């Protein structure tokens, strides 16, 4: 298939991860954590050839990994706090290995609600399938993050 100069390949990607974990307080500021990190990766590509034939391909992978780690939360004032968290996971269950590190500032809206902003790095080494038909997701994602949390 020959692509024309005017054909523009289009693609869309979505990468998501969600963490769910339980915390065990060692001190009022230091906690151990254990839980699961769920991943979902979707890729959809579309091409148009010179003769107008459209080609489309889509791939999607989902998996979940166990994780363990620690979190330190230190109050800066009555409403402001800083959090440092690190965890590791995968252990060959789905991913070969993964690690996560983050530093966040938080603002307490109430006893149970917080707003967060900071920086996060997540590194994942995931491989699935035979060598001839292997899906590999070996990446480091990092950047600024924000969000909200609540405790119950």
pLDDT at 137 > cutoff 90: no
Residue-wise pLDDT for 72-129, tens only, equals: 999 999 999 999 999 999 999 999 999 999 999 999 999 999 999 999 999 999 999 8
Mean of per-residue pLDDT scores for the chain: 89
What phi and psi values does residue 131 have, to the nearest 5 degrees?
-55, -30
The pLDDT, as a whole number, for residue 35 is 97
Continuous H helices in the chain: none
List the 113-128 sheet strands across, edge first: 10-25, 30-48, 54-75, 80-89, 97-108, 113-128, 135-150
Residue holding tokens 């997701």?
A: 137
Q: State the residue for tokens 């902003």.
A: 117
Residue 71 has a pLDDT of: 97
Q: Is the pLDDT of residue 11 over 60?
A: yes
CB 151 within 8 Å of CB 73: no
């Amino acid at each position: 298939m020959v692509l024309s100069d005017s054909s523009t390949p289009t693609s869309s990607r979505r990468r998501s991860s969600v963490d769910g974990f339980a915390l065990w307080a060692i001190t009022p500021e230091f906690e151990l954590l254990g839980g699961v990190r769920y991943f979902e990766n979707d890729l959809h590509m579309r091409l148009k050839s010179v003769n107008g034939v459209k080609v489309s391909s889509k791939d999607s992978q989902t998996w979940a990994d166990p994780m363990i780690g620690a979190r330190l939360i230190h109050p800066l004032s009555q409403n402001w706090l800083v959090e440092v968290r690190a965890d590791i996971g995968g252990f060959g269950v789905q991913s070969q290995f993964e690690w996560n590190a983050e530093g966040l500032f938080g603002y307490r809206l109430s006893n149970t609600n917080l707003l967060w902003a900071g920086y996060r790095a997540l590194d994942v080494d995931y491989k699935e399938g035979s060598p001839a038909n292997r899906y590999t997701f070996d990446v480091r994602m990092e950047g600024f993050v924000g969000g909200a949390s609540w405790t119950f």
